[in-house]
Copies of this chain bind each other. A is one copy, B any other.
Amino acid sequence: MATQRILDFLATRRPNGPCLVLDLDVVADNFRAFEKALPQSRIYYAVKANPAPEVLRLLASMGSSFDTASVAEIEMALDAGATADRISFGNTIKKERDIARAHELGIGLFAVDSVEEVDKIARAAPGARVFCRVLTDGEGAEWPLSRKFGCVPAMAVDVLRHARSLGLDAYGVSFHVGSQQCDLSAWDRALGDAKRVFATLANEGIVLKMVNMGGGFPTRYLKDVPVAQAYGQAIFEALSKHFGNNIPETIIEPGRGMVGNAGVIKSEVVLISKKADNDNVRWVFLDIGKFGGLAETMDEAIRYPISTVHDGSETAPCVLAGPTCDSADVMYEKTPYPLPLSLTIGDEVLIEGTGAYTTTYSSVAFNGFEPLRSYVI
């Protein structure tokens, strides 16, 4: 996944220390693939996945809309050239003063999952459109979401009814099938839930207009994943099945699927050692770890492809750890990672598929290590 442009950049620029290099051509290809796969859906890029200004400007210029989590992300999207009508405030947890600020900036589309949040929006952004997030079971996702966001469908009906009663535009329903979702039927189950909310409210004269199908579109790490086209097909079939000829406006919010495979982290082997003479597992320590950008290795959830100059030669399992004095800063231990036996201290390694959820997860300065640098090319 390291493109020739990334390899050329690293070969000529030779940046010192760990860094992410992100290839905008791949982002552009991904955007076009989503457009082609889901031609009827509006694409709201999940800014939190990678808010680099170059990425936001590219996507704004290609016609993308933006899913934002905070006032700061709204401002970044505006700075990148998006108009306010192309920005959604997609966090269900918002301070009332942040809602008011978003309203001032012209934002008119807000996520909710509780009557309490609806109350805030009614006060701070009167008349706005709101969509209510419903809980899904997350089955089939490599990283199922917790119950943090969303409410059960029956409560979503109450929430949207309450929104209407306070003069808001009860606009639709959203869901998220779980991150890195590889089971295409997950969208079918969630769309079934969404349709039931539509139907119940329609009986009361409240006509919802939109389904926000969230993210969950996977990027390729070590295993092959279905291509965007397969998702598009499965989603279109599920929409037709549940909504018939009356398919609502739809939104998707790819983050990882838009930028994950566009980035590569260059790292250096700091130490290779053993804990005892009779250990058969080497410990390999890199100059980047859980606190320097690889937070998603938490619980060994995401297993990044790693390439070295010795690839093709004999490998053996390693525990892979980061450079900090923190014993939790270990990426892969329960399932050791196979790396070449000839790997040496000082070698460069490329951690692939790291364009999403790396730079901004990076800690400010834990152990005195600077945050992950990023080059967008």
Which residues of A are at the interface with B, using a C-beta cutoff of 8 A? 46-48, 51, 68-73, 76, 90-96, 113-117, 120, 135, 145-152, 154-155, 158, 179, 268, 270-277, 283, 285, 287, 291, 295, 298, 321, 323-330, 333, 345-346, 359-371
Q: B71, B277, B364: which contacts A359 (Cβ < 8 A)?
A: B364
CA distance A369 to B328 in the complex (A): 24
Contact A328 B298 (CB under 8 A): yes
Q: Is the CB of A365 within 8 A of B287?
A: no
- Is B155 a contact of A275 with CB atoms below 8 Å? yes
Find A369's partner among B72, B92, B113, B321 (CB 8 Å cutoff): B72
- A146 and B271 CA atoms in complex are apart in Å by 17
A265 to B228, CA, bound (A): 44
Q: Which of B76, B91, B158, B287 contacts A323 (CB 8 A)?
A: B91
Judging by beta carbons under 8 Å apart, are B95 and A329 in contact? no
Closest residue of chain B to A275 (Cβ to Cβ) is B151
Bound together, the chains give a CA A287 to CA B95 distance in angstroms of 8
Nearest-CB residue, chain B, relative to A363: B361
| Among candidates B69, B158, B273, residue contacting A367 with C-beta atoms closer than 8 Å | B69
**Once the chains are docked, how many angstroms separate the CA of A227 from the CA of B329?**
29
Q: A149-B327, A365-B360 are in contact. Are A274 and B114 (CB under 8 A)?
A: yes
Give the residues in chain B near A72, CB-CB below 8 Å: 365, 368-370
A333 to B147, CA, bound (A): 10
CB-nearest residue of chain B to A367: B69
Minimum distance in angstroms from A265 CB to a CB of chain B: 15
| Closest B residue to A94 using CB positions | B270
Tell me which residues across on chain B come within 8 A of A287, comparing CB atoms: 95
Question: Which single member of B71, B361, B362 contacts A368 (CB below 8 Å)?
Answer: B71
Residues of B within 8 A of A323 (CB): 91, 93
Cβ-defined contact, B368 with A330, below 8 A? no
Contact, CB under 8 Å: A362 / B360 = no
- Chain B residue with Cβ nearest A135: B275
Given contacts A116-B271, A116-B345, contact A48 B325 (CB under 8 A): yes
Rounded to whole Å, the gap between the CB of A189 and the closest CB of chain B is 18
Contact B69 A324 (CB under 8 A): yes
Closest B residue to A344 by CB, please name it.
Answer: B116
CB neighbours of A272 from chain B (8 A): 116
Residues in chain B near residue A93, CB distance under 8 A: 270-271, 285, 321, 323
Residues of B within 8 Å of A135, CB to CB, are 275
A368 touches B145 (CB 8 A): no
* Chain B residues with CB under 8 A of A326: 48
Could you pull out 22 A-B pairs where Cβ atoms are within 8 angstroms?
A48-B324, A69-B324, A69-B368, A72-B369, A73-B368, A93-B323, A94-B271, A95-B270, A95-B287, A114-B274, A116-B271, A116-B273, A135-B275, A148-B330, A149-B327, A151-B273, A151-B274, A151-B275, A151-B276, A155-B277, A291-B361, A360-B364
